[in-house]
Amino acid sequence: ALYTVWIEEDASLAEINPLIITPDREVKALDAKVTLDGNAAFRHPDHADLGDKANADPIEVKAAEQDVVYVKLDGNIGILGNGAGLVMSTLDVVAQHGGEPANFLDAGGGSDAAKVKQAVELILSNENVSAVLFNIFGGITRCDEVAN
């Protein structure tokens, strides 16, 4: 059953600990933990109500509602890019040169001016951000749309 949950619900962790055998030889799970893969949420709309919204970062919640991948970090340089690999590389380069990224934000491919505006507003809603670095690969996303 635990393996089925792990596979069918796209869990990244499924654990029973402790598992005991009672004096009557019954097997009982005294505690269990399940961590669901948020990147698989599109396959599991029923998971939406399971999240711990009380402890969620409000910017991350708003980003998810806008279909933008955003992760808050501890720095002061906002990062906006298109494509997870490009954004990760940008974070690395900024850190290599002594900068401190404030976020990971992947606006995705084909972003238009409205989506980029929303993304910038998300980044700037973090009061620690003092600058925003854009790194856009001009393939699917038109750079003139980003500039607008």
Q: Are strands 11-16 and 32-36 parallel, antiparallel or unpaired?
A: antiparallel
Mean of pLDDT values over 68-87: 93
Q: How far apart are CA 145 and CA 106, in angstroms?
A: 16
Taking phi over 0 as left and psi of -120 to 50 as alpha, with beta for the rest, 123 belongs to alpha
> Does some domain include residue 24?
yes
The per-residue pLDDT for range 82-92, each reduced to its tens digit, is 889 999 999 99
Same domain (yes/no): 88, 142: yes
First and final C-alpha spacing in the chain? 52
Same domain (yes/no): 39, 94: no
More reliable by pLDDT, 49 or 78: 78
What residue numbers bound the domain in which 117 lies?
Answer: 58-147
> Does some domain include residue 52?
no
pLDDT band at 80; cut points 50, 70, 90: very high
Same domain (yes/no): 69, 90: yes
User: What pTM did the predictor assign?
Assistant: 0.68
Looking at residue 38, its pLDDT comes to 79
For the chain, percent of residues with pLDDT exceeding 90: 57
